[in-house]
């Protein structure tokens, strides 16, 4: 998968030249900083709230998150997520059997971060100033769009169109917005790997959270 992703990016740079490199590197780094901050803050706080070690959680969730990273599909990772929930985390079947499939379709932490950053990047690229109202609109539509995003590779990039439209950035043929959107599409594989990994991590966290609150988490797996 990583080799394929680099081959796709090669096409963008061969068409756009090196001038596209700086801005796209900036978007990629910002997005991954967002992902890491989300894990460091939200995952840690949620684990501490249910009194489990964040490091143990990250260690257990490693296998589904890596699978999501290379397959770029929350839905495709579901068998691994369920196996981990069952065998390594001690989550009862009636909880993970509901929470994980629902999470794989509805819960998209990584996709929301990606949508927000890319919408702001495209607005900057075409010289549109976003006021506070427009930024709040991006947050709201990114949440709604992420809920509607399918757990398959590249689905979030389609939903980005909806977020852009909500702040008046229409992707019309030949427009500057379309050119900026095409740049993002060129590196979508790289962004999709990280966001899908975070999406799956979030689903697992949700399932553990519910199991612990229901007092039905098998704590012998966490010792
Ligand atoms: N590939 C992501 C997933 O399966 C969805 C997206 O493209 O944002 O979770």
- Among protein residues, the one with the nearest Cα to ligand 1's atom 1 is 153
pLDDT one-digit tens code per residue, 22-48:
888 999 999 999 999 999 999 999 999
Q: What percent of the chain has pLDDT over 70?
A: 97
Query: What pLDDT is attached to residue 204?
Result: 97
74 lines ligand 1 (CB under 6 A): yes
- Among protein residues, the one with the nearest Cα to ligand 1's atom 8 is 156
d(CA 46, CA 104): 19
d(CA 50, CA 101): 22
Query: What pLDDT is attached to residue 173?
Result: 80
Q: How many CB atoms lie within 10 A of CB 93?
A: 10
155 lines ligand 1 (CB under 6 A): yes
81 lines ligand 1 (CB under 6 A): no
Q: Are 22 and 30 in contact (CB under 8 A)?
A: no
4 alpha carbon to ligand 1 midpoint, in Å? 17
C-alpha dihedral sign at 95, 97, 98, 102: positive
User: Closest ligand 1 atom, CA of 151?
Assistant: 4
Q: What percent of the chain has pLDDT over 90?
A: 78
pLDDT one-digit tens code per residue, 134-188:
999 999 999 999 999 999 999 999 999 999 999 999 988 878 888 888 889 888 9
Q: From residue 153, how far is each of 40, 131, 209 by CA, in Å?
A: 25, 32, 27
151 lines ligand 1 (CB under 6 A): yes
d(CA 171, CA 70): 29
Query: What pLDDT is attached to residue 179?
Result: 85
Quote the mean pLDDT of the chain.
92
Query: What pLDDT is attached to residue 2?
Result: 67
Query: What pLDDT is attached to residue 10?
Result: 76
pLDDT beyond 90 at 209: yes
- Residue with the bigger pLDDT between 117 and 22: it is 117
219 alpha carbon to ligand 1 midpoint, in Å? 31
Instruction: Please report which confidence band the pLDDT of residue 194 belongs to, taking 50, 70 and 90 as the band edges.
Output: very high
- Cα 203 to chain centroid distance, Å, stands at 11
**Its pTM surpasses 0.85:** yes
């Amino acid at each position: 998968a990583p080799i394929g992703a680099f081959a796709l990016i090669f096409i963008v740079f061969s068409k756009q030249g090196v001038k596209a490199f700086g801005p796209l590197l900036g978007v990629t780094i910002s997005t991954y900083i967002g992902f890491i901050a989300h894990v460091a803050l939200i995952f840690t706080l949620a684990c501490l709230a249910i009194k489990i070690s964040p490091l143990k959680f990250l260690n257990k969730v490693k296998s589904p998150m890596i699978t999501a990273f290379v397959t770029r599909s929350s839905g495709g990772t579901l068998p691994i997520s369920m196996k981990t929930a069952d065998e390594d985390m001690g989550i009862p079947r009636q909880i993970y059997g509901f929470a994980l499939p629902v999470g794989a379709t509805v819960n998209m932490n990584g996709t929301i971060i990606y949508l927000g950053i890319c919408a702001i990047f495209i607005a900057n690229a075409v010289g549109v100033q976003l006021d506070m109202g427009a930024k709040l609109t991006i947050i709201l539509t990114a949440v709604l769009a992420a809920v509607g995003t399918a757990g398959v590779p590249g689905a979030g990039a389609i939903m980005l169109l909806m977020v852009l439209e909500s702040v008046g950035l229409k992707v019309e043929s030949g427009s500057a917005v379309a050119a900026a959107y095409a740049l993002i599409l060129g590196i979508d594989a790289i962004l999709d790997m990280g966001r899908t990994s975070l999406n799956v991590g979030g689903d697992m966290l949700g399932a553990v959270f519910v199991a612990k609150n229901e007092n039905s988490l098998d704590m012998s797996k966490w010792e």
